Amino acid sequence: MSDSTAMVNRYPLALRLLHWVRAALILGLLPLGLIMVSLPDASPAKFATLYPLHKEFGVLLFCIAITQMLVRSRSVLPASPNGLSRWEVVLSKTVHRAMIALIVIVPLMGYSMSSSFTQSDGIPFFGVELPELLSKNDDAFAVFQALHKYLAYTLIVFIGLHIAGVLKHRLLDKNGDTDVLRRML
């Protein structure tokens, strides 16, 4: 660990802001996705409002995730707290890496799903139609749809692990040095 890393006890402001914006987007997109797919196809809001909103904010999440990865690669980050056991450090790093990967992959699968669907109504992004780069193929669409769905559920599991870890360190650990939430506030 370098001297500069040892002295850092909070994430840089840009990463903290990106983290909370991403969290808000994800906490909106996941229930929105569940609601929109549960509605009957005859529901006017399903395709006119909910799907376009889900697509727009999914693309925004993807853009923010890429930005976060770039900022993170150029930032000095706090080291893991000294009070964490080895298994906690390994689990934390695994969960974080999985969440970052899924936050990129899930929107890509959503884009691929929309792009390959033969009856797609496009991929809106706040007044701009994004190009659909994949060939139209409903068999490919079915694969992308399944991947988007199951990887989103997987992301929910990792988010649950992430929140459980933060709460454990905040509320249950006797050593206040392991309170990782302070680093992201």
pLDDT tens profile 71-128 = 999 999 888 888 888 998 999 999 999 999 999 999 999 999 999 999 988 899 999 9
Split into its structural domains, the chain has a count of: 1
Write out the residue range of the structural domain in which residue 95 sits: 3-184
| CATH number for 51 | 1.20.950
The pLDDT score that the predictor gives to residue 151 is: 97
Q: Which residues pair with 129 in a beta bridge?
A: 124
CA distance 20 to 122: 29
Per residue in 163-185, is it b (16+ CB within 10 Å) or e — as a string?
eebeeebeeebeeeebebeeeee
